[in-house]
Structure 1
Amino acid sequence: MTDIELKKLKDDLWHAADVLRSGAHLAANKYGQPILGLIFLRYADILFKQHKQEIQAEYDKLKGGRREKTMREIAIDKCGFYLPEKAYYDSINNAPDDAKKATLVKEAMEAIEKENPTLVNVLPKDVYEQLVPEEEPELLSRIVRIFKDIPEKSTLDIFGEIYEYFLGNFALAEGKDGGTFYTPSTVVRYMVEVLGPEPGGEKKFLDPACGSGGMFVQAARYMHKHNADNKEMMNFRCYGVEKEPDTVKLAKMNLILNNVRGDIREANTFYSDPHNAFGAFDYVMANPPFNVDEVSYDRVKDDKRFNTYGIPRKKSSSSKKNADKKETVPNANYLWIGHFASALNETGKAALVMANSASDASGSEYDIRKNMIEEGIISQMVTLSSNMFNTVTLPATLWFFDKQKAHGDKKDEILFIDARNVFTQVDRAHRKFSDEQIKNLGIITKLYNGDEASYQELVHEYEEKLAEGVSDLNQQIKDFVPYNIVFEVENPDIGKTEEITESFALGIDKLDIVLVNHTAELLHSELEKVSKCRKEFVKADKWINGNKVKKGQNKEVQEFKDKIAGGLELVDSVKYYLKNLLWLKEKFPEGKYRDVIGLCKAAKLDGEDGIKDQDYSLNAGRYVGVAVDDDGLSEEEFKEEMLGLSQELKKLQNESNQLMEAIFNNMQILGIENKG
């Protein structure tokens, strides 16, 4: 299955399921668990079927012999679990469409848990009654049929992608509450990109606030992508702590669906240490809840997980009222930070999401931060854009630790990155990183660590994508011009074909796709050419949508529209990779790390404007400075954008005038005098 096909499958599944949800008037927080449980059932059904012949053959081979095994034992060896017939997806799907369907789903999950002890209390078997409302008892049956559309040949990776996609959409639908169990995958992928977990030997990962387990899944995918073999993936062990029982189930299903080995415990990390975390882990990743303020000081003060670097305390007060109260930690942000650092072994690394305010916190937090900075374990700080998370709209900060750094030549240096202007807008209230933004930000760390080969590989990757896009676009233009000529002959208002063809030639034919030695200035020139090409497609699009079609031309018009749409898509792709290549060439023209105003700075502990001078602040903005604003638009694009904004403003003004007129008319009808 291609990436495009997988995206369509995920979108179609979500759309179908969400339409049914809204039709049944169910809140998203009542819908998530049962849907994810059905995805798990479909996964189990398909995976077991894919191994069924192999399981049967092994059973027949060993039957009656000294090494005879049960079907269940062989199945667990082959695919990790045994699926009883009662749990086959077809058994549920083919049953009558009535309220008993919920009972069938529950019985299927109970049968799976009975045959597979590791899945006991993992599946959400008691939540399906809510999907058979009295007014629509067939709702659950309709939802079951949706997931029957997942192809029988789907791989484990596909199910992992589908599960994560639904998790993310449920988190968005739930808003702030959804953020408690899900960290946006693009942020996690960037964290993993910086950590760079390496295969080899047993690798232990800890997430003490693991939510639905997304950190573990992305770390496993990174290792698999970087050529970890099956044995190395078997040595990849994840240890999570999560206090919400329903979220523990989500995490366990997530790990199973992504073939990640893990141990998720239901516990409160502040008061429980189920994994004996102190100094035990190769990697720690987490997005803990921010600004928790009711943690008992007495219960954590003697715990070395928290007191190694110090525990935040309120300023002492002698009033009798305060003396009678049990002391609490004023803000648990630095409890989390200290715990992550103390959980690392001697070569350990950590990445965590933290409230932006923690970077400059004063009082006892200042002393803890100073201790960590002077020890040399903080390797990198990254400020993110606002609206990257469901739980907070303000910018958050990523902290990175590296225990080995404390013994190296960069002990007294920290890399600061200000990524507040690096994002892709999803909708009005949400932002994310694109794949290329993750790679571009990740290359800063790689260059800082002396990995110049990765920079050249990324440049080459963008060049190849660009070459492919230009080739496809040239073909699209050749296919486009004949239609343009036909419609010009019958509709002379479209403009002269020679001018349009010449503009395309300027835009594409002279675009040099061998860009290895291109400077930023030359790339800007190529970007201008491609922008002109796009403008011609936009002209044609406006014309074809603004004129009546002559009788008998419907087919030709639709074909012309398809050529225009395809051309716009290809032009945008070419521009996109040109811009990413330009970003690399402008920021790091020599293919080596350098400080870039407004983006990154390797700040030293001592010296002018060093970390001591900044009073041990870890706020990236204090170090990287502010660059002159650059919107990245060409002159033509800027003009187009200004024209679009002007037209939008005019439209809004007209709507405002109409609204005011309606208000005044209503006031007159009601006999209210307008004194304005």
Structure 2
Amino acid sequence: MTAEQLKELEDNLWKAADKLRADSGLKASEYSTPILGLIFLRFASIRYGKVKEEIKAELEAQKNSRNQLKEEEIALLKCGFYLPPEAEYDYLLNLPEKTDIAKAIKKAMELIEYYKPELKDSLPKDEYFKLYTKDDRSLPKSLLKIFKDIPEDVTGDLFGKVYEYFLGEFALAEGQGGGAFYTPTSVVKLMVEMIEPYKGTLYDPACGSGGMFVQSNEFVDRRRAELRDEDTKDLMVYGGEKDTETVKLARMNLAVNGLRGQIVQANAYYENPFDSYGRFDYVMANPPFNVDDVNYDRVKDDRRFNEYGIPKNKSKSGGNKQAAVNSVPNANYLWINLFATSLKPTGRAALVMANSASDARHSEADIRQNLIKSGVIDCMLTLPKNMFYTVTLPATLWFFDKNKCRNQNLQDLRMNKILFIDARNIFRQVTRALREFTDEHIQNIATIMRLYRGENHRLQEL
């Protein structure tokens, strides 16, 4: 699906759903959760439908086996979740008009959570009863009909994109402005192609809707045949996210895309649920930029944040010296430290960072110098403007590679070098306010990176 087709789909779905909301008199805050649950259910049914025949065939093949697996066990292996008949979208859609649809949807969500404990308490259930009014119980069924228009051939992180589009529209409808920040798929694809997370562990401490994980999984699927390595599917993902509702989204996104891993609610500045120091093969993230209220005293002794130096604190008293709280002046370099220290000695990282971090002065400059001296920074790439859906801001991609610091051959080739790529003029104009990388752009940039790494044979493969 092209960006234009996706935009048209999003607009049409939103207009139809919002018209029903307006007719019902419900507030956007009362409407958003059940809507997002139905979007998940639609995408889950689409994904499950693609492997349903395989599941049946495997069940038939094992019929006389001593160690025969149950249908739900086969489904979990092939799809990552199991949809019993009562939880399938078309089943709900085709129920008689007089059926208690809210009750049926609740049962469907409960069944999904039962067979997928990782989703426990993540799916909306009782919210569908709130769509009933005294005189009208048709709204849940009408919404099911609207989201049936999501086509069967959708792939990748479209669930996350459609979900976040609706999240932003609901926020605007409530007067909050903006909506959730979303990393464009083409940017994530480039990050994935540059660090190539084939297998192992992948960490995103600010995972949002889980888009980084989905694109990494798609990369593994695309390259598996080329690698001829059955273990490449063995990718475990770990995500932290501060917002409760977004944690639920990320868990749904992992489930609908068949990913293995764990998503937890955590504030990365003060919580370390995965004991991240030196643990992960890959780190990918798009953290919040320019946060200025992180408590300095709570992070100053945390080795995740101080290995390369910590931004000097300043006093924020609000005119009251007695109430002064030491805070980090800008948390950008806390995140940069976190990404570097979370890597194994052979690990790679890719992160989106505000342009201002590239030439920040004072204590940030000292940290940047320490990072450069350590050899961990491998590449920096400036992005074009207008690459993001909800905000217009200049950003840079940072790439780390700890392996070049310990591998003698890589030390000789790249130890004292950093590859700089100016991609500000590489883009395709999607709309007046939005740009993206094409697949050709992504492959060309990734080829530059591979040649820089000395992987000349990769050029011949193209």
**Given residue 222 of structure 2, which amino acid in structure 1 is its aligned partner?**
K
Name the structure 2 match of 1:290: 289
* Distance in 1 separating the partners of 2:379 and 2:166: 32
Name the structure 1 match of 2:122: 122
Name the structure 1 match of 2:403: 404
**SS of structure 2 residue aligned to 1:445:** helix
- State the shift of 1:428 in Å: 2.4
The Cα offsets for residues 355-403 of structure 1, whole Å up to 9 and x where unpaired, read as 1111111121111111111111111111112221235412111111111
Name the structure 2 match of 1:142: 142
Cα distance change of structure 1 residues 451 and 166 upon mapping to structure 2, 3 Å threshold: same
Cα distance change of structure 1 residues 402 and 148 upon mapping to structure 2, 3 Å threshold: same
* Distance in 2 separating the partners of 1:286 and 1:386: 19
Matched, 1:311 2:310: yes
Name the structure 2 match of 1:214: 211
**Given residue 280 of structure 1, which amino acid in structure 2 is its aligned partner?**
R
* Distance in 2 separating the partners of 1:248 and 1:446: 34
**Given residue 92 of structure 1, which amino acid in structure 2 is its aligned partner?**
L
**Given residue 204 of structure 1, which amino acid in structure 2 is its aligned partner?**
T
Name the structure 1 match of 2:437: 433
Q: Structure 1 regions of 5+ residues with no counterpart?
A: 459-676
- State the shift of 1:77 in Å: 4.9
* Distance in 1 separating the partners of 2:287 and 2:349: 13
Name the structure 2 match of 1:373: 372
> 1:59·1:70 contact (CA, 8 Å) conserved in 2?
no
**Given residue 34 of structure 1, which amino acid in structure 2 is its aligned partner?**
G
Name the structure 2 match of 1:21: 17
* Distance in 2 separating the partners of 1:146 and 1:317: 50
Counting aligned pairs with the same residue, the percent is: 45
* Distance in 2 separating the partners of 1:76 and 1:393: 40
Cα distance change of structure 1 residues 197 and 49 upon mapping to structure 2, 3 Å threshold: closer
Name the structure 2 match of 1:609: none
Normalising by structure 2, report the TM-score.
0.84
Matched, 1:204 2:169: no
Please list, as runs of the form range in 1=range in 2, the aligned pairs for 1:147-162 lying within 5 A after superposition.
Answer: 147-148=147-148, 158-160=154-156, 162=158
- State the shift of 1:347 in Å: 0.8
**SS of structure 1 residue aligned to 2:194:** helix
The Cα offsets for residues 482-518 of structure 1, whole Å up to 9 and x where unpaired, read as xxxxxxxxxxxxxxxxxxxxxxxxxxxxxxxxxxxxx
Once the two structures are overlaid, the 10-residue window that deviates more, 449-458 or 168-177, is: 168-177
> 2:47·2:257 contact (CA, 8 Å) conserved in 1?
no
**SS of structure 2 residue aligned to 1:350:** strand
* Distance in 2 separating the partners of 1:108 and 1:219: 29
Cα distance change of structure 1 residues 282 and 60 upon mapping to structure 2, 3 Å threshold: closer
Cα distance change of structure 1 residues 187 and 68 upon mapping to structure 2, 3 Å threshold: closer
Name the structure 2 match of 1:341: 340
More helix per residue: 1 or 2? 1
* Distance in 2 separating the partners of 1:125 and 1:229: 43
**Given residue 328 of structure 1, which amino acid in structure 2 is its aligned partner?**
S
**SS of structure 2 residue aligned to 1:345:** strand
* Distance in 2 separating the partners of 1:79 and 1:306: 38
Cα RMSD (Å): 3.4
* Distance in 2 separating the partners of 1:193 and 1:368: 27
Q: Which runs of 4+ in 1 moved over 6 A?
A: 133-136, 316-320
**SS of structure 1 residue aligned to 2:429:** strand
**SS of structure 2 residue aligned to 1:128:** helix
> 1:349·1:401 contact (CA, 8 Å) conserved in 2?
yes
Matched, 1:420 2:419: no
> 1:234·1:261 contact (CA, 8 Å) conserved in 2?
no
**SS of structure 2 residue aligned to 1:413:** coil
> 1:17·1:143 contact (CA, 8 Å) conserved in 2?
no
**SS of structure 1 residue aligned to 2:237:** strand
Name the structure 2 match of 1:236: 235
For the pair shown, the structure with the greater C-alpha radius of gyration is: 1
Cα distance change of structure 1 residues 292 and 316 upon mapping to structure 2, 3 Å threshold: closer
Q: Structure 2 regions of 5+ residues with no counterpart?
A: 23-27
* Distance in 2 separating the partners of 1:187 and 1:386: 12
The Cα offsets for residues 330-364 of structure 1, whole Å up to 9 and x where unpaired, read as 11111000000011111111110111111111121
* Distance in 2 separating the partners of 1:205 and 1:214: 12
* Distance in 1 separating the partners of 2:10 and 2:231: 34
Name the structure 2 match of 1:61: 64
> 1:426·1:432 contact (CA, 8 Å) conserved in 2?
yes
**Given residue 381 of structure 2, which amino acid in structure 1 is its aligned partner?**
V
* Distance in 1 separating the partners of 2:61 and 2:432: 56
**SS of structure 2 residue aligned to 1:422:** coil
Normalising by structure 1, report the TM-score.
0.59
* Distance in 2 separating the partners of 1:76 and 1:374: 46
> 2:160·2:210 contact (CA, 8 Å) conserved in 1?
no
- State the shift of 1:210 in Å: 0.4
Name the structure 2 match of 1:192: 192
Larger RCO (alpha carbons 8 Å, 6+ apart): 2
> 1:190·1:438 contact (CA, 8 Å) conserved in 2?
yes
Name the structure 1 match of 2:279: 280
Once the two structures are overlaid, the 10-residue window that deviates more, 105-114 or 227-236, is: 227-236
Name the structure 2 match of 1:166: 162
Q: Number of residues paired by the alignment?
A: 443
**SS of structure 1 residue aligned to 2:269:** coil
- State the shift of 1:404 in Å: 2.1
The Cα offsets for residues 545-595 of structure 1, whole Å up to 9 and x where unpaired, read as xxxxxxxxxxxxxxxxxxxxxxxxxxxxxxxxxxxxxxxxxxxxxxxxxxx
Name the structure 2 match of 1:587: none
Cα distance change of structure 1 residues 452 and 178 upon mapping to structure 2, 3 Å threshold: farther
* Distance in 2 separating the partners of 1:368 and 1:245: 32
- State the shift of 1:126 in Å: 4.2
Cα distance change of structure 1 residues 53 and 223 upon mapping to structure 2, 3 Å threshold: closer
* Distance in 1 separating the partners of 2:461 and 2:67: 51
> 1:184·1:388 contact (CA, 8 Å) conserved in 2?
yes
